[in-house]
Structure 1
Amino acid sequence: VRRYSRIAQDRLADTNALADETLNAIQTVQAFTLEALQSGRYRRAVEDSFTAAIGRTRVRAVLTALGVTLIFGGIALVMWLGLHAMLAGRMSGGDLVKFLFYAVFVGTSAAALTEMWGEVQRAAGAMERLAELLEARPSIVAPARPETLPARVEGRIRFEDLTFHYPSRPESAALTRFSLEVEPGETIAFVGPSGAGKSTSFQLLLRFYDPQSGRVLLDGHSLAQLDPQQLRAQIGLVPQDTVLFGASARENILYGRPGASAADVEAAARAAAADEFLRELPQGYDTFLGERGTRLSGGQRQRIALARAILKDPPVLLLDEATSALDSESERLVQSALEKLMRGRTTIIIAHRLATVQKADRIVVLDQGRKAAVGTHEELMRDSPLYARLAALQFGLS
C-alpha cells in the first residue's frame, strides 16, 4: 500500500505541476496555438494519476478483503467449534453465545484496525517524498565555528584565482583562473558575451555555490568560513528576472528589511520610482499583486525589486540588468535613484546599457569564463577588441 500510495502521490504532483506551468504561461500557449498540445499533455498526466490511484485502491481493496475474510472465517470457526462442544455437552448455550459475542467484538475491532492500517500506509507513502526533502542537507552550510562579520562590512571583495564548474555541467568551466579585487565603495561593471561567467560571479559571491579552486573574500574573510546567512545579510541583489511573492506590494518591499516602518517602505518606493503607480492601485501599497506579481507590468515588478534592495540598505550591491525592463522615463528616474544608492557602497553591475557602464569606476570584460580586460570605457574602447565589438553591437557604436 505504501509503495502504491507514493506512486499515486508522485503522479498527482506531476499533474498539478503541469497545470501550474500551463496556467502561468497561458499567454505563450495561446500565442503559439498550443492549447490542443497542452490539453493532451494534461489529459495523459491525469490518466497516469488515475491509473496510479486505481492501483492503490486495488491493493487496499485486497488488503481489506483479506482482513474481512480472515476475521469472519475466525468467527465461523469459533461458531463451528462451539456448536460441537455444546452438542458434546462440554459447553452450554449461554457460553456459546458469549464466545460468539466476544468473537464478533474482536473481529469488528480487527476489521477497523485493518482499515486504519491501510490509511496509515497510505499516509506513510505520501510522507516518504516529503521526508526525503526534509532530511536533505544543503551542500552550502556554515562551518562549525564561523568567523564573525561586523554589523556592516566595508565592502572590500577579492576573487582569488577562481575556477568553477556548475554541477550540471562538470565538463565546462564557468570561470577559469578568475581574479579581481574590488575596493570599498567602488563600482565595477561586468560585460561580456552570454555565458562568459558574469552571473556566475554573483552566484559565488552570494555563496550559492563554492568554487572548485580558489576563494572569494569579503573584507579579508573567506566566504567558506562565514555563515551564509550572515554573509547574505550584507548583500543586496536586484536580479534581471524579478521575483515577487503572492502578497501585497508593501509585504514584497518588506522582504528587504522585515520590520521596517511604513515610512521607510514608502521612502524606498519613492527612490525606486514606484510610489506613484503603487498609490494608484485599488488598495495602494496593500494591494495584493497576484502570484509572482502577475497584476503588474515587467517594469513595475522590477521597480518593486529595486525598492526592496533600497530598503535593505546593504554595504554591497549586486545589480543584474536592474533597468532592463524599464521605459525611458522610468529608467531615467531609477538610474538617478541607483546613482544615489551606489554612493558609499561597493557595487557590481552586470549591464549592457552604455550609460551604466560608462559611469562605472572600472569595467571588467569577461570571455569564456576568463578575465579578458579591465579598464575604463575609454581605455577598453582603445585597447580591447572584444569590448569595442560588444559596444558596437550592443550600444550602437561604430
Structure 2
Amino acid sequence: MIRAAFSARREDFALACLLYTTHQLGESMVPVLVGATIAGAVAQGAAVSLALWLLVLAADFAVLSLSYRLGARASARAKQQAGHVVRLAVVERALRQDGGADLAPGDLLSRASSDADRVGALVGIVASSVAAVVALIAASTFLIAASPLLGCMIVLGALVVVIATSVLSRQVATRAGVEQVATADATLAAADIVRGLRTLAGLGAATASAERYRSISRRAVRSSERAVWAEAEIGGIAALLSGVYLTLIAGAGGWLALTGSLGLGSLVSVLGLAVFLTGPLGTLTGLPGVAQRAIASARRIGEVLERPGALERAGALDAGGTAPPRELALSITGDGIVVGAAEGELTGVVCVRHEDADRIAAAVALESVTSGLVVRVGGADARTVRIDDYGSQVLVAPHDSAVLDATLRENLDPLAEPELEPQKAQGAGNARLDGITDRARRGAWAAFADEIAESLPDGWDSAAGEFGRRLSGGQRQRLALARALAVDAPVLVLQEPTTAVDPATAEVIAERLRDLRSGSTTVVITTSAALLARCDTVVLVDGTSGTDSARCTRGTHDELLAGDTVYRAMVVR
C-alpha cells in the first residue's frame, strides 16, 4: 500500500525531493557564506569584496526561497494524490461485486479518510527527509574539511540522535494503532446514530444511544490523548538529544577557535551550521513517528484490500468463470423456494416473511452464498459465471437503496456521458434533463421522478441532501427506482420499489414500469397490488408453514387473489 502511494505521482515526489534538497543546500550555504563574508572583510578590508559576498548571499536566499515554494507545491500534489489512490483502492474493494469488504460503513469511512491521509502524509515527510539527509552530508563534508574532529562529532552525534529516536518511536506505532481503532469505533457509532436518529427518538432510545456514544467517544479521546502524549514525550526527548548534541558542537568549535585551529570566519560558519542542523535533525527525528503511524494505517487499509469477499470466503467463487449465458431467464431455488422468471417477462414475488424477500434479493445480488438459495441465469449457476459478466447482466435494487448527497441529476445518472443530441423520452416531462443519457431520461419517466424535479425550484439541479433528507420518503424511493431503471439491465430485480408512494402514483409507476421493461426479464418483490396486477406471473412464497421448507404457489394476480387466502391477506390491505 505504501509502495502504491509513492508510485502515485513519481514525478511530483521526485521534483519535491529535488527542490527541497536545493532549498536545504541553500539554507546550509547561508552560514558558510556569512563566514566567508566576514573572513573576506577582515582579511582584505575592501568594500568591493564585502559587496560581492553580499550579492552571492542574496542570490542564495532567492534560490532557496523559490525552491521551497515550488517544492512545497510538488509535495502537496504528491501527498494528495497518494491519499487519493489509497482512498480509491478502499472504495473499489468495498464496491467489488463478489461481496465487498463486508465491514461497517463507519469503519470503511475511517480507513478511507484518516488512514489514507496518514499514508499520504508519509510521502511529504519522506521528501523533506531526503533533503535533510543531503543537507547533513553537505554540512558534514564542509565541517570535516574545516576540522576533522568536529566533522566526526557531527556525524556520530547525528547517528546517535536518529537511532535513539527511532527506538523510542516504536511506542508511537503501538498507541497509534489503538487510537485508530478507537476512532473508527466512534465514527461507526456516530454514523449509526445519525442515520437512525428519528427511529431512536420514536422508540425513546435517544438518551441511551447518546450515552453509549459518549462512552465510546471518551474511549477514543483517551486513546488519542495517550498517543499524543507518547508522541510528545518522544519529541521532547528528541529535542533534548538534539540540544545536547548542538551544545557539544558549539563547545568544541569554540575550543578550536581559541587554540587557533579555526579562524573567525570558519568559527562563524561552524556555529551557524550547528544551529542550521536543528532543522534537518528535527525532520529526521520526526520521520520514524510519522512512518510508524502511516504503517499502522497501511496495515488497516491492507486488511480491507486483502479481505476476501462473501463468495470467496464461502469457496463458491470460480476465479475464471464461464461465459455469460445467452438466455436471460432467472430462477431462485432452495429450502422449498422456487421462483422462476421467464425471459422477457415481468414476474412478481410476494413473500409472507420479510426475511425471505431479503434472502432472495441478497442471493441474486451474490451478497450471500450461505442463504441456502441457488440462483441460475439461463440455466447456468450464477456462482460459476464470470463476476464482471454477471454484474453487467443482472442488477438488484434493494428496498433501502441509497440516495447520494448530490443533485437529482447526479443521483439519476452519476456516471453517464452526456449525449450530443439527447432525445426526449416517451411521456414528456423530461425537457429539463439536458445533457443526460436517453436511458436515464426514460428511467425518470417510468419512475415518475420527473414530477420531483418539476416540484423543486432548481429542478434536476436541486440538492437531495445527505441520505436524501431534503426529499420525502416517496421522492427518495422514486429517485432510486429511476436510477435502477436507467441502467437498463437485461435482468432486473426490484425489492419493494413503491412502498413509500401513494396509491395513485403507484398505479402510474406500475403502468410505466411494464411499458419500459417490456421484453426484458424483470422480477418485482412486492405486495403492491398495482405492480402485481401488471405482472405476467406471480409467485407466492409462504415461509410460515412451520416446516423447514417454504410453500410456493404460482399463478396470475387474479388467480391467486381469487384462490389463495394468504395471498389475498398480503395484497389486499
**Displacement, 1:84?**
9.2
Question: In structure 2, how many angstroms separate the alpha carbons of the residues matched to 1:186 and 1:291?
Answer: 36
Question: In structure 2, how many angstroms separate the alpha carbons of the residues matched to 1:389 and 1:240?
Answer: 23
Question: In structure 2, how many angstroms separate the alpha carbons of the residues matched to 1:49 and 1:6?
Answer: 12
Change (3 A) 1:395 1:185: same
Q: Which residue of 2 aligns with 1:192?
A: 351
**Displacement, 1:295?**
1.0
Which structure has more helix as a fraction of its residues?
Answer: 2
- Bigger Rg, which one: 2
Tell me if 1:120 matches 2:291: yes
Unmatched runs of 5 consecutive residues or more in structure 2? 1-171, 423-435
Q: How does 1:190-269 map to 2 (within 5 A)?
A: 190-194=349-353, 197-210=356-369, 215-255=374-414, 261=422, 262=436, 264=438, 265-269=440-444
When normalised by structure 2's length, the TM-score is: 0.56
Alignment RMSD, CA only? 3.7
State the Cα deviation string for residues 248-295 of structure 1 (Å, max 9, x = none): 111211159665653623333222222122122121112111112111
Q: Which residue of 2 aligns with 1:157?
A: 330
Give yes or no for contact 1:190–1:365 (8 Å, CA) kept in 2. Answer: yes
Give the share of equivalent positions with the same residue, in percent. 25
- The structure 1 residue matched to 2:551, chosen from 372, 375, 380, is 372
Unmatched runs of 5 consecutive residues or more in structure 1? 163-175
Tell me if 1:5 matches 2:176: yes
Give yes or no for contact 1:256–1:312 (8 Å, CA) kept in 2. Answer: no
State the Cα deviation string for residues 114-158 of structure 1 (Å, max 9, x = none): 1233233333334432232233343447744333337xx542123
When normalised by structure 1's length, the TM-score is: 0.78
**Displacement, 1:189?**
2.9
Question: In structure 2, how many angstroms separate the alpha carbons of the residues matched to 1:76 and 1:116?
Answer: 23
Give yes or no for contact 1:357–1:363 (8 Å, CA) kept in 2. Answer: no
- SS at 2:236's partner residue? helix
Q: Which residue of 1 aligns with 2:539?
A: 363
- SS at 1:348's partner residue? strand
Give yes or no for contact 2:418–2:437 (8 Å, CA) kept in 1. Answer: no
Change (3 A) 1:350 1:336: same
State the Cα deviation string for residues 156-185 of structure 1 (Å, max 9, x = none): 12346x4xxxxxxxxxxxxx2655543212
Change (3 A) 1:114 1:341: same
Aligned pair count reads: 375
Question: In structure 2, how many angstroms separate the alpha carbons of the residues matched to 1:155 and 1:125?
Answer: 47
Q: What letter corresponds to residue 506 of structure 2 in structure 1?
A: E
- SS at 2:368's partner residue? coil
- SS at 2:324's partner residue? coil
**Displacement, 1:245?**
1.0
Question: In structure 1, how many angstroms separate the alpha carbons of the residues matched to 2:416 and 2:254?
Answer: 80
Question: In structure 2, how many angstroms separate the alpha carbons of the residues matched to 1:15 and 1:9?
Answer: 10
Question: In structure 2, how many angstroms separate the alpha carbons of the residues matched to 1:34 and 1:311?
Answer: 39
Change (3 A) 1:84 1:246: closer
Q: What letter corresponds to residue 173 of structure 2 in structure 1?
A: R
Q: What letter corresponds to residue 353 of structure 2 in structure 1?
A: S
- SS at 1:233's partner residue? helix
Question: In structure 1, how many angstroms separate the alpha carbons of the residues matched to 2:450 and 2:492?
Answer: 22
Higher relative contact order (Cα pairs below 8 Å, separated by 6+ residues): 1
Tell me if 1:277 matches 2:436: no
Tell me if 1:322 matches 2:501: no
- SS at 2:388's partner residue? helix
Question: In structure 1, how many angstroms separate the alpha carbons of the residues matched to 2:562 and 2:571?
Answer: 17
Tell me if 1:27 matches 2:204: no
Give yes or no for contact 1:154–1:315 (8 Å, CA) kept in 2. Answer: no
